Amino acid sequence: MKENIVSLDMIPCGKRAKVKELTSVGNLRRRMLDLGLIIGTIVESLRKSPSGDPTAYEIRGAVIALRSEEASKIMVELI
């Protein structure tokens, strides 16, 4: 079965995904890891702001807003 891997910013609101890879580097990568975005973490896309950016995600019980630029660096598998 082929995995359905996309970037986190492509996940529709209300859908869940599992983190497969972080493509960010430097301080942004450190921030993502500090937020709990490690491989295997389940993330749910909750809602987009009225302007469409940022998007709120539930990560390990916390709600976190990520800009599309940041979310595009997180590769996930739809579940």
- Encode the chain (79 residues) as per-residue pLDDT tens digits: 456 899 999 999 999 999 999 999 999 999 999 988 999 999 999 999 888 789 999 999 999 999 999 999 999 999 9
What is the count of structural domains for the chain?
A: 1
Q: What is the pLDDT of residue 4?
A: 87
- Residue pair 76/3 in contact (Cβ under 8 Å)? The answer is no
Domain hosting 56: range is 5-78
Q: What is the pLDDT of residue 1?
A: 43
CATH of the domain at 67: 2.30.30.90
Q: What is the pLDDT of residue 2?
A: 54
Q: How far apart are CA 42 and CA 1, in angstroms?
A: 20
SS3 content of the chain, % helix, strand, coil (to 5): 20, 40, 40
Rg (CA), the chain: 11
Q: What is the pLDDT of residue 49?
A: 87
What is the DSSP-derived secondary structure letter of residue 31? H
